[in-house]
Structure 1
Amino acid sequence: MLKALCHCLNCHKTTSSTYSTNWVVPQPAFKVVKGEPTTYAAAGGSGNTAKRQFCNQCSCVMWTESPVFAGIVVVKAGVMDDGAFEKFKPASETFTSRKPGWVPCIADATQFPEAWQAAAPAKE
């Protein structure tokens, strides 16, 4: 599971902050165990439709899915219990080109000026 901060404009608006804090989970490992979320679909920074899932009880954003990151679910870390933020150390930051200049980079986190990119396979 990848832990990442996202500085895209949609995350600015969704969180009313400078970034969202996310766990990137493979689709097959993701399962909703209770409740039925409400979906909001809108064009993301890439122009593709991003679908954000909200709790229909408290309205918090729970996760996002998009064709840009097919096969994965981006879970908002704030919905997790048991001290999730204390255990969270981002491995990457995405859309850093949209990050306010006064927000420092996370030490040792891979920086992506735009969307997250998987590492290219090694050439033999």
Structure 2
Amino acid sequence: MTSFTGGCLCGQVRYEIAADAGPSRVCWCRDCQRIASNGTVNVIFPSDAIQVSGSPAKHDKTADSGNTVTRRFCAHCGTQLFSDSTGRPGLTVVRVGTLDEPSAVKPTTNIWVGSAPSWACVDPSLEQFDGPPVVAPQAKT
């Protein structure tokens, strides 16, 4: 198992993650563009593997998917840290730029490319989806 640490710009919110990194994606949805003025690079972790010190503020919004997304950010400096979705219970999206070692995670996919502005630098070597990523169906046991 891998461990990661990270935090916000001012240091008032810090976190530790005791888990291997899940999928990592560059997201070009309009909400991510609004919070970052660009696409955001994100990685998914089990929520219960993340220990947070400090008190992030939060904002709930209904996404284009219809899910409620709760974004957590530093109330002091505004750094976007995490998001949780009702469509992914038990999983938390972490903004890769907030990791102490952001090069430890490499994105493999561009999502919501259909929403990207014409000037976006979309890496053509990564898998691409015009909208949300396609999730393989779970095998029935």
> When the two structures are superposed, what TM-score results if normalisation uses the length of structure 2?
0.73
Unaligned stretches of 5+ residues in structure 1: none
Structure 2 vs 1, CA of residues 40 and 119 (structure 1 numbering), >3 Å: closer, same or farther? same
Q: Identify which of 88, 96, 109 aligns with 1:69.
A: 88
Tell me what 2:28 maps to: 7
Q: Stretches of 4+ moved more than 3 A in 1?
A: none
**1:12 Cα offset (Å):** 0.5
Identity value in percent: 28
Q: Distance in 2 between matches of 1:100 and 1:53?
A: 25
Alpha-carbon RMSD across the aligned residues, in angstroms, is 2.0
Q: Distance in 2 between matches of 1:38 and 1:122?
A: 38
Tell me what 1:87 maps to: 104
Number of residue pairs matched by the alignment: 119
**1:122 Cα offset (Å):** 6.3
Tell me what 2:69 maps to: 50
Tell me what 2:46 maps to: 26
**1:104 Cα offset (Å):** 4.3
Asked if structure 2 preserves the Cα contact closer than 8 Å seen for 1:3 and 1:92, the reply is yes
Tell me what 1:105 maps to: 122
Asked if structure 2 preserves the Cα contact closer than 8 Å seen for 1:90 and 1:106, the reply is no
Q: Distance in 2 between matches of 1:67 and 1:117?
A: 17
Structure 2 vs 1, CA of residues 117 and 14 (structure 1 numbering), >3 Å: closer, same or farther? same
Q: Where do 1:110-121 residues align within 5 Å?
A: 110-121=127-138
Q: Distance in 2 between matches of 1:42 and 1:111?
A: 25
Query: What secondary structure is seen at the aligned counterpart in 1 of 2:58?
Result: strand
The structure with the largest strand share of the pair is: 2
Unaligned stretches of 5+ residues in structure 2: 1-21
**1:66 Cα offset (Å):** 0.8
> When the two structures are superposed, what TM-score results if normalisation uses the length of structure 1?
0.82
